[in-house]
A and B are shown apart, each in its own frame.
Chain A
Amino acid sequence: MIQVSGAVKAYGDVRVVDGVDLALAPGGITSIIGPNGAGKSTLLSCVARLLDLDGGTVTVDGLDVHRTASDVLARRLSMLRQDNHLTARLTVRDLVAFGRYPWSKGRPTPDDDRLVAEALAFLELEPFAGRYLDELSGGQRQRAFVAMVLCQGTDYVLLDEPLNNLDLRHAVAMMRLLRRAADELGRTVVVVLHDVNVAAAYSDHVVAMRDGVVVHQGAPSTLMRTEVLAEIYDLELAVHHLDGRPVAVPAL
């Protein structure tokens, strides 16, 4: 259970997360959507203890993330950040293997090696495993980082725009992979998405943010309504049903 209570994060006078209360039950996929600058990345970073809060608390399975030892949390919660920059030159395999650090502390066992190989296979990275990250396309690199995060083997997985840079095929593969992680492995997946249609199609629960506050949450069917979407995005969107699935389309 991820419990966010009265979370506030301010830069100067601007509260970019302005009193967020959220309770995310274990299991399933929760999508966070909202316009640019709504505070989605900031909220996720606060949950993952990458940013300190200016007010409120975040707990994961009852552990206050800002007070619990970092290495304890690293076995429960992992996160993919929106942009990842490296100073060192690493191969894809090296990077993914770092995902096992919370468990192996840098001394990988055969089990760790097996999990790394599985993660590489899951994300179709085997052909590139020995390549340096700076020799990959943006989408391939993105998949390598996701492989590292999944390799960490935590119950809670936070992903900030994991579909960045991915082509359509890999985007669909990524969402199916997250679905499998939730359904088959029982992981709790929280994912920031910028496409409402993707969010509606693949998630169990949707949280919509705007200006640092949660403006809507519930099942995808409650989100996909013209008036709800208008409130979130300030945009007129028509919702059609195709093969029984809601699809939001902007007017031309």
Chain B
Amino acid sequence: MPAPAAGASASTAPADRRPARVLAVLGLVAALCVVGFLTVDARGAWDFVLPFRGVKVVALLLVAYAIAVSTVLFQTVTENRILTPSIMGFDALYVALQTGLVFAVGSARLAAVDPHLRFAVEVLLMVGLAGLLFRWLFTGARRSLHLLLLAGIVIGVLLRSVSSFLQRLIDPNEFAVLQDALFASFNAVDTELLGLAALLVAGASVVAWRERRAYDVLLLGHPTATVLGVDHARTVTRVLVVVAVLVSVSTALVGPVTFFGLLVAHLAYQLVGSHQHRHVLPAAALLAAITLIGGQAVLEHVLGLDTALSVVVELLGGLVLLTLLLREGRR
């Protein structure tokens, strides 16, 4: 029957073009933000300012990308739109790992180790531990969202108190080594590890991008995805590894950030008008880049403020979480 088919395809055409249009606009805005960040209020020689700010932009782009992609993937495999890796304590785990290393090895000996090697070891430990911890939470029996949220909060609090307990035992000089890792700051980015971080992010992205169509199927839920032939346990495990790597990168570069991922993931779901990961993932990453780099450009270069961006972003993200929880509760 040609008539209804033609009518139907005509009605879906605008919807099909919307994701591409949204992505194009977001890409443009993100590019403007980068240019703005590099050039606004630049005093002094360009050949000093540009490389200096350029490194920072790259770091912020990596962080934005890592947080956005890890949040969307995590929400897909856990079949919810409220929990995020950071709400479930992924970055608290990474901080605990770093603290534990300083405590066990000592900062003097740790300082002698190549920072790249140290970072690589931390990421590896993180992948192993996060894999173990979150696999039993998210595969097997289906648990209620609220139970998981509670588990996440408990895990987060537990890990944070382990970290702060160890920090108290560490002598004050050693503690200074950790300071950077413990507080989120988009202003003081640790750029030493940039190359390795970029490599890790690229590797994780290749794994994730190749499976993007299977992730679309996971949106139908574990049973239906299985009926459609997606190996659920294996896919979830791989995603948890990717998420662990991405969270390690962003935490190593800027420190723990709790609600930012939630904020950009939700903006992406709302804006892009498509359930497909090939649209949602880039949209979330671009939105994160716009928020971080645009926000940082305004705060740092226009208003001359220091660490305020993380506060603003966390406040907005926290409001998103509250709204979602209230809406869920009313259903």
Contact = CB atoms under 8 A, between A and B. Distances in A.
Task: State whether these chains interact.
Answer: yes
A233 interface: no
Given A50-B226, A74-B229, A101-B228, A90 B219 contact: yes
B174 to A, nearest CB: 44
Interface residues of B, number: 28
B54 interface: no
A98 B214 CA distance: 10
Contact of A101 (B12, B221, B223, B229): B229
Interface stretch (B1-9, B31-39, B296-304, B313-321): B1-9
Given A105-B213, A121-B4, A129-B8, A75 B219 contact: no
B228 A88 contact: no
Interface string B182-225: 00000000000000000000000000000011101101110110
Interface in A102-154: 102, 105-107, 117, 121, 126, 129-130, 152
A50 B12 contact: no
Contact of A49 (B5, B80, B220, B226): B226
Contacts of A45: 223
A88 B219 contact: yes
Contacts of B221: 84-87
A89 B79 CA distance: 12
A54 interface: no
A143 B81 CA distance: 26
A99 B75 CA distance: 22
A93 to B, nearest CB: 7
Nearest to A77: B227
A73 interface: yes
A103 B73 CA distance: 24
Nearest to A121: B1
Interface residues of A, number: 39
Contacts of B1: 121
Interface string B228-253: 11110000000000000000000000
B227 A74 contact: yes
Given A87-B221, A90-B219, A98-B220, A106 B213 contact: yes
A182 interface: no
A232 B275 CA distance: 45
Given A87-B81, A105-B213, A70 B226 contact: yes
Interface string A186-207: 0000000000000000000000
A49 B221 CA distance: 15
A81 interface: yes
A89 B216 CA distance: 12
Interface string B281-313: 000000000000000000000000000000000
B15 interface: yes
Nearest to B233: A70
B266 to A, nearest CB: 13
A64 interface: no
Nearest to B215: A106
A84 B222 CA distance: 11
Contacts of A107: 213
Contacts of B15: 91, 130
Given A81-B223, A86-B221, A90-B219, 15 more contacts: A50-B223, A71-B229, A74-B227, A85-B221, A87-B81, A88-B219, A88-B220, A90-B275, A98-B216, A98-B224, A101-B230, A102-B229, A107-B213, A117-B8, A121-B4
9 contacts: A50-B226, A74-B227, A77-B227, A78-B227, A86-B219, A87-B221, A94-B275, A101-B228, A126-B4
